[in-house]
């Protein structure tokens, strides 16, 4: 797929200047056509560094946030990744270029089906999807080397963190007192103990229990 090179290059340069320095992450973003993941009415803004609305009242994340969250995972091609909140599929597509396999859960059937079509178009065959309650994780496929959550958890998500391998990393937005979220990186050591590190303030749609029945 041919991309508007100037806009993509400008975006990648902007991300590099704002702290996304991992060359593999930048290459994955450069190779993932964000224009495919945004609604047609916002196509002129597809390569702007900002979040955009998608169906079902959700958003496609700001490219900077995608880059920083992906970088924080410290991925390599041996890792099995759990993503909570497929949304448009953009974050999963970036992850799929870096990890061995991505398991992604979406509560809205409409979004999941649209994302599946995009993965097929991009020939990303290492993504496995599920429609359901992301707060429960994917116990049948646990444990995971990496976990990423693309919605704001009300509290530390213990059910998800229990599915993280020793030596694993999870990146999760967690509600804070200011009414936004703090992006937390959780690291599980070889003995199974969890440490956490606050990375930055972010603003995501809330992480909601249950599968959406209507959409």
Q: Strands 194-202 and 181-188, how do they pair?
A: antiparallel
Exposure of 41 by Cβ count < 10 A (0-12 exposed, 13-18 middle, 19+ buried)?
A: exposed
Q: Does the annotation mark 178 as catalytic?
A: no
Task: Spell out the alpha helix ranges (H) of 60-214.
Answer: 63-73, 90-96, 109-121, 158-161
Sequence length of the chain is 215
Q: Which of 14, 43, 61, 178 is catalytic?
A: 61
Give residue 156's Cα distance to chain centre. 17
Task: Spell out the alpha helix ranges (H) of 100-207.
Answer: 109-121, 158-161
Are 159 and 137 contacting, i.e. CB atoms less than 8 angstroms apart?
yes
Active site residues: 61
């Amino acid at each position: 797929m041919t991309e508007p090179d100037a806009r993509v290059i400008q975006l990648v340069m902007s991300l590099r200047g704002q702290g996304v320095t991992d060359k593999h992450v930048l290459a994955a973003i450069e190779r993932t056509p964000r224009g495919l993941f945004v609604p047609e009415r916002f196509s002129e803004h597809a390569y702007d560094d900002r979040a955009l609305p998608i169906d079902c009242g959700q958003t496609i994340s700001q490219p900077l946030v995608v880059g920083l969250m992906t970088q924080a995972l410290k991925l390599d091609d041996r890792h099995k990744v759990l993503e909570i909140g497929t949304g448009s599929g953009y974050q999963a597509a970036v992850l799929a270029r870096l990890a061995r396999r991505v398991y992604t859960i979406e509560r809205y059937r409409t979004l999941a089906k649209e994302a599946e079509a995009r993965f097929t178009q991009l020939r990303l065959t290492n993504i496995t999807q599920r429609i359901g309650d992301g707060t429960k994780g994917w116990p049948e496929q646990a444990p995971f080397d990496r976990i990423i959550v693309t919605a704001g958890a009300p509290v530390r998500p213990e059910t998800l963190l229990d599915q993280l391998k020793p030596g694993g990393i999870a990146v999760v937005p967690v509600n804070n007192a200011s009414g936004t979220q703090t992006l937390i990186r959780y690291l599980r050591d070889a003995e199974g103990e969890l440490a956490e590190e606050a990375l930055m303030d972010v603003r995501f749609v809330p992480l909601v229990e249950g599968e959406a029945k209507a959409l």
